[in-house]
C-alpha cells in the first residue's frame, strides 16, 4: 500500500483481515473508525473493520465453507455446535443475530433459543 518495504507485513496480516471481513486500504485514506497498522515506524496499511451485522454474515459464510455444505443441511447435533460456536463469538449480541442464524441454519428462532438454553443447562 505504501511501497516502503511493508509488503511482507501486508501479506502477513491480509488473511486475518479477510477472516474478519475487513478491508485493507492505504493509510492516507483511513477514516476515523479505521485502524492504521504501523510497520517499522511507518503507517503501512489501514484496516476498515466490518459492521457487526456484516461480520455475522461473514462468519456464517466461513462456517459454511468449513463444513463444505450449507449450514441448513447439517444434522441437529452439528447445528447445535454451530450455535455454541456463534454464541462464543458474540453472534447473538448483534441486532437480529438470532434471526440471521436461524435463517442460515434453516430453523426457527425458537429452535435457536432452545439450542442456546440447552448449552446453558449443560
- Encode pLDDT of 9-27 as tens digits: 999 999 988 877 789 999 9
Tell me the C-alpha distance between 6 and 47, whole Å.
15
- Taken in order 3, 8, 9, 12, the sign of the CA dihedral is positive
User: Per DSSP, which regions of 8-107 are E strands?
Assistant: 23-25, 35-39, 42-48
Nearest to 54 by CA among 62, 46, 45: 62
pLDDT in tens, 46-105: 999 877 667 788 889 889 999 999 999 999 999 999 999 999 888 888 888 999 999 999
Which pTM value belongs to this model?
0.61
3 state SS of 46: strand
7 phi, psi to nearest 5 deg: -55, -45
Amino acid at each position: 500500500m505504501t511501497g516502503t518495504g511493508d509488503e511482507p507485513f501486508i501479506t502477513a496480516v491480509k488473511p486475518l483481515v479477510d477472516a474478519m471481513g475487513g478491508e485493507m486500504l492505504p493509510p492516507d485514506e483511513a477514516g476515523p473508525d479505521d485502524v492504521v497498522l504501523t510497520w517499522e515506524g511507518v503507517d503501512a496499511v489501514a484496516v476498515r473493520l466490518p459492521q457487526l451485522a456484516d461480520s455475522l454474515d461473514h462468519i456464517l459464510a466461513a462456517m459454511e465453507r468449513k463444513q463444505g455444505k450449507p449450514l441448513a443441511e447439517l444434522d441437529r447435533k452439528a447445528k447445535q455446535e454451530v450455535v455454541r460456536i456463534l454464541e462464543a463469538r458474540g453472534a447473538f449480541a448483534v441486532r437480529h443475530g438470532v434471526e440471521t442464524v436461524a435463517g442460515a441454519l434453516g430453523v426457527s428462532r425458537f429452535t435457536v433459543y432452545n439450542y442456546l438454553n440447552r448449552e446453558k443447562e449443560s
